[in-house]
Amino acid sequence: MRYCSLGSGSRGNATLIEYGTTRLLVDCGFSLRTTEKRLALAGLSAHQLTAILVTHEHSDHISGVERLAQRYRLPVYMTAGTRYGMGATDLPIHEIRFGQSFDIGEIRVTPVPVPHDAREPSQFIFDSGYHRLGLLTDTGTITPLITEMYSGLDALFLEANYDPHMLASGPYPRFLQARVGGALGHLSNQQAAGLLASIDTSSLQQIVIGHISEKNNRPELAHEALSGVLDGWDGRLQLAVQNQGLPWQEITETLQPITASIGSR
């Protein structure tokens, strides 16, 4: 399994996950033309995508979904709440439900409910049978379910959106500061670090820090906060940024399947 970011931040988000011939795009917060260009930089055409998954209806995650899906006839997966929040659409939507994993090609997808100021937001865990990759952004609070679900992963794409001191002294008005830093907002550097300190990281090969605010955080602050709780961890800690995203990252193959094969699960 491998994954990359086409861009991560408040001006647009899109993440690619690939295993075998299955290629999933999680969110598309860029214009059609920008998405096509960023896919080309990743060595892909949109014709090679299998499906689009949507985490929630905020514009930095869905602004390009409809045009991309229509142009390339891609199925789109989201919760019923996200579909409602997205508004009128002619797209063929596959509604997903919490507590029910589903297969797209060679990848099993598990939706995870998260606290965020959207209708029915979801994050995802991807399982190839040999690897498990977790995607966790746009989350205001770490719940017990999140701690349980994101333990024992092989790779984790994790939001560290803001530094509390920068947010409090930054350009955002008070109401927006309260929204970002609230229980339905985003994860701070310290909250992200707290999650890492509380989960099983024994099999975790890679951590990618994503959705870093350009106004309320700095990459070095996020990196310092998360690396501070990873003493003795021998994996790789990287950053996904707004303009360049993150190149393809390969998850090392394990010797035995971690679950039963896709066909028998």
Residue with tokens 């999650």: 195
Q: Is the distance from CB of 184 to CB of 117 less than 8 angstroms?
A: yes
Q: What is the pLDDT of residues 65-124, one digit of tens each?
A: 999 999 999 999 999 999 999 998 889 899 999 999 999 999 999 999 999 999 999 999
Whether the predicted pLDDT of 259 surpasses 90? no
Contacts of 71 (CB under 8 A, 6+ apart): 32, 46
φ/ψ of residue 118, rounded to 5: -140, 175
Residue with tokens 């699960």: 265
257 vs 235, residue with greater confidence: 235
3 state DSSP class of 156: strand
Task: Give me the pLDDT at residue 88, please.
Answer: 87
Which superfamily, per CATH, for 2-244?
Ribonuclease Z/Hydroxyacylglutathione hydrolase-like (3.60.15.10)
| Mean pLDDT estimate for the chain | 95
pTM, rounded to two decimals: 0.94
Q: Tell how strand 22-26 and strand 51-53 pair up.
A: parallel
Whether the predicted pLDDT of 265 surpasses 50? no
Q: Give the closest residue to 213 by CA, choosing from 40, 91, 21, 60.
A: 60
Per-residue confidence band for 261, with pLDDT thresholds at 50, 70 and 90? very low
Mean pLDDT in residue range 152-164: 98
Q: What is the pLDDT of residues 3-56, one digit of tens each?
A: 999 999 999 999 999 999 999 999 999 999 999 999 999 999 999 999 999 999
Per-residue confidence band for 264, with pLDDT thresholds at 50, 70 and 90? very low
Helices (H), 100-188: 144-149, 164-169, 174-181
Task: Give me the pLDDT at residue 263, please.
Answer: 36
Whether the predicted pLDDT of 172 surpasses 90? yes
Q: What does the alpha-carbon distance between residue 219 and residue 209 come to, in Å, rounded to a whole number?
A: 9
- Helix (H) / strand (E) element for 143: namely none
Task: Give me the pLDDT at residue 254, please.
Answer: 60
Per-residue confidence band for 252, with pLDDT thresholds at 50, 70 and 90? confident
Q: What is the pLDDT of residues 235-251, one digit of tens each?
A: 999 999 999 999 999 99
Q: Is the distance from CB of 167 to CB of 181 less than 8 angstroms?
A: yes
Amino acid at 18: E
Contacts of 27 (CB under 8 A, 6+ apart): 13, 14, 15, 52, 53, 54, 55, 61, 62, 65
Q: What is the pLDDT of residues 129-157, one digit of tens each?
A: 999 999 999 999 999 999 999 999 999 99
Beta bridge partners of 124: 111, 135
Amino acid at 250: E
